[in-house]
C-alpha cells in the first residue's frame, strides 16, 4: 500500500485533542469567585479593620520616632501614656524648667482607636500600672528601660509590645507577655 501523506495538524493541537468547553471555563470562574467571596472579608479585617493591630503599629511608630529624635538631638525625652484617656505624647525632658500650667497632651500626640485600650504597662522591675499617667524616660542615646505595653480590644484580644532597652526593635506578641 502506498504511503499516505501525513495529515495536517493545526499548530499547537494534536489529533483528537480539543480545548476547554465554555462550561468548564464557567465552572472554574465560578469556583474562583466563591473562593474570593469567602476570603476577602477575612483579609480586609486582618489588614484594614483590625483596630488593635492598627493601634499597635501607631504606638510602635511614635516610640521609634521619639527614640530617633532623642538620638539625633542628643537630648532626653519623656514619652507619656495616659491610660485612662488613651493618649500618647512626648516632649523634651527639660527638667525643672518645665512649667506645670500646661493643660493636657501637647502636640504631637496620638489617641488610641475607640475599641482599643491599655490593659497595663510594666516598666522595668516595677509593678503593673493599670490607670493614670505613665512616663517613660528616653535618654539622649535613645535608650529606654525595658517596658511591656499590653493593649486589648473590646473582644479581649491582646497585643504585648516589648521595648528593649538597647535595641531599636519593638517586638509584638499576640499574647500576654510578662518580664519574668
CATH number, domain containing residue 108: 3.55.40.10
Query: Is residue 83, in this structure, part of any structural domain at all?
Result: yes
Query: Is residue 73, in this structure, part of any structural domain at all?
Result: yes
Domain total in the chain: 1
Between CA 50 and CA 66 the distance in angstroms is: 25
Query: Is residue 29, in this structure, part of any structural domain at all?
Result: no
What's the domain range around 151?
52-96+104-173
- Mode of pairing for the β-strands spanning 170-173 and 158-163: antiparallel
Residues of the chain predicted below pLDDT 50: 99, 101
Between CA 171 and CA 158 the distance in angstroms is: 14
Query: Is residue 92, in this structure, part of any structural domain at all?
Result: yes
Query: Is residue 30, in this structure, part of any structural domain at all?
Result: no
Query: Is residue 40, in this structure, part of any structural domain at all?
Result: no
- Start-to-end C-alpha separation, the chain: 92
Residue 15 has a pLDDT of 62
Query: Is residue 37, in this structure, part of any structural domain at all?
Result: no
pTM of the model: 0.65
Query: Is residue 132, in this structure, part of any structural domain at all?
Result: yes
**Cα→Cα distances 158→100, 125, 129, 137, Å:** 35, 21, 16, 25
Residue 29 has a pLDDT of 94
Beta pairing partners, 125 = none
Amino acid at each position: 500500500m502506498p504511503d499516505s501523506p501525513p495529515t495536517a495538524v493545526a499548530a499547537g493541537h494534536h489529533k483528537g485533542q480539543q480545548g476547554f468547553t465554555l462550561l468548564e471555563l464557567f465552572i472554574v470562574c465560578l469556583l474562583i469567585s466563591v473562593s474570593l467571596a469567602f476570603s476577602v472579608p477575612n483579609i480586609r479585617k486582618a489588614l484594614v479593620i483590625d483596630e488593635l493591630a492598627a493601634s499597635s503599629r501607631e504606638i510602635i511608630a511614635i516610640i521609634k520616632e521619639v527614640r530617633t529624635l532623642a538620638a539625633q538631638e542628643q537630648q532626653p525625652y519623656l514619652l507619656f501614656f495616659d491610660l485612662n484617656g488613651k493618649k500618647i505624647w512626648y516632649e523634651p525632658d527639660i527638667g525643672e524648667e518645665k512649667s506645670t500650667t500646661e493643660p493636657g497632651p501637647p502636640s504631637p500626640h496620638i489617641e488610641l482607636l475607640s475599641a482599643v485600650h491599655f490593659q497595663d504597662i510594666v516598666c522595668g522591675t516595677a509593678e503593673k500600672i493599670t490607670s493614670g499617667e505613665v512616663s517613660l524616660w528616653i535618654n539622649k542615646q535613645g535608650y529606654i528601660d525595658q517596658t511591656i505595653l499590653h493593649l486589648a480590644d473590646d473582644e479581649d484580644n491582646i497585643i504585648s509590645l516589648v521595648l528593649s532597652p538597647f535595641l531599636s526593635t519593638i517586638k509584638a506578641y499576640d499574647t500576654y507577655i510578662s518580664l519574668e
